[in-house]
Structure 1
Amino acid sequence: MDQFDKVLAKWEPTALSLFRFITGLLLFQYGVAKIFKFPVLPYFANIPPLITTAGALELVLGALLMIGLFTRITAFILSGEMAFAYFIGHMFKDPAKPVFLPLLNGGTAAILFCFACLYLSTAGGGPISVDAMRKK
């Protein structure tokens, strides 16, 4: 097993950069859908100002995450936004009857994004990022 770990360990920095890029890309697509209404999704037809603000954050910060610029602070802000999105938009959608289980309230993606971004805020952007290029 040690040999297997050694083989995979050399790819860990590259995998971190890929993980950062894909996380940013997925958040970016939510921002595009909320701000530019593309693609047309029925649940983003008439969105309130709070969700428009979330879309702007996802659009701009998702793009920064994709290129790896200011990764730690960007990911930290996005992690907080996703936690906020889970509690406000999913768990307490109906304040009289909160639903905690993500499988029932549709908050699975928000939780995954929250913890993915929390990890990126501690791990950084990896070697393939603007942050890494700025350090050189």
Structure 2
Amino acid sequence: MSFDRFSGPVWSLFRIAIGVLFLCHGAAGVFGLFGGHRGSGEALPMGSWPNWWAAVIQVVGGALVVAGLATRPAALLASGSMAYAYFVVHQPEGLLPLNNGGVTSALYAWAFLAIAALGAGPWSVDGLLNRRRVDEGVTPVPVGVRDAA
């Protein structure tokens, strides 16, 4: 039995799960939801650098990644913002993520880089748009893992 047929749907579920978690972090910062920024119960002050802007990237980028719309650029921006958070905020506190509190930032940076590289997968708006292009006879744009599945 081959498990290859599950790669597209599992990749799509991975993308959706990562996007939802990222969106929740942003919603905590921008709107004060889910206990607010770092459990403060409050939203970040509007326009504060860099935290509020990072939270906006998390909300918008997370929503786009969940939907699978403009997935590659949204994931690349999200990956870059998390790499920035890791190297500017966490890495100066210690070499290893386990020692500097940067595990979440590092995992998000790598997960979003993988999503940017591999695409949205079949369960996505990008995938739906590509299927429409194929039906209309237009050359499709690659959307990622197991496009043909």
- Scaled by the length of structure 1, the TM-score of the pair is 0.86
Residue 33 (structure 2) pairs with residue 27 (structure 1):
no
Residue 117 of structure 1 deviates from its aligned partner by: 0.5
Aligned alpha-carbon RMSD (Å): 1.6
Q: Structure 1's 113 and 49: CA in aligned 2 closer, same or farther, altered over 3 A? A: same
Structure possessing the higher relative contact order (Cα contacts under 8 Å, 6 or more residues apart):
1
SS in 2 for 1:11: helix
Give unmatched runs, 5+ long, in structure 1. 93-97
**Residue aligning to 2:105:** 110
Residue 83 (structure 2) pairs with residue 83 (structure 1):
yes
Give unmatched runs, 5+ long, in structure 2. 132-149
Q: Which one has a larger percent helix, Structure 1 or Structure 2?
A: 1
Q: Structure 1's 53 and 44: CA in aligned 2 closer, same or farther, altered over 3 A? A: farther
Residue 38 of structure 1 deviates from its aligned partner by: 1.4
Residue 42 of structure 1 deviates from its aligned partner by: 6.7
- Inter-partner Cα distance in structure 2 for 1:101 and 1:67: 33
Q: Indicate if the aligned counterparts of 1:34 and 1:44 stay in contact, CA closer than 8 A.
A: no
- Inter-partner Cα distance in structure 1 for 2:56 and 2:105: 16
**Residue aligning to 2:57:** 57
- Among the aligned pairs, what percent are the same residue? 33
- Inter-partner Cα distance in structure 2 for 1:83 and 1:67: 23
Residue 40 of structure 1 deviates from its aligned partner by: 2.1
Count of aligned pairs: 126
Cα deviations by residue, 1:67-94 (Å, 9 ceiling, x for unpaired): 00011111111111110010112112xx
Residue 95 (structure 2) pairs with residue 100 (structure 1):
yes
- Inter-partner Cα distance in structure 1 for 2:69 and 2:37: 33
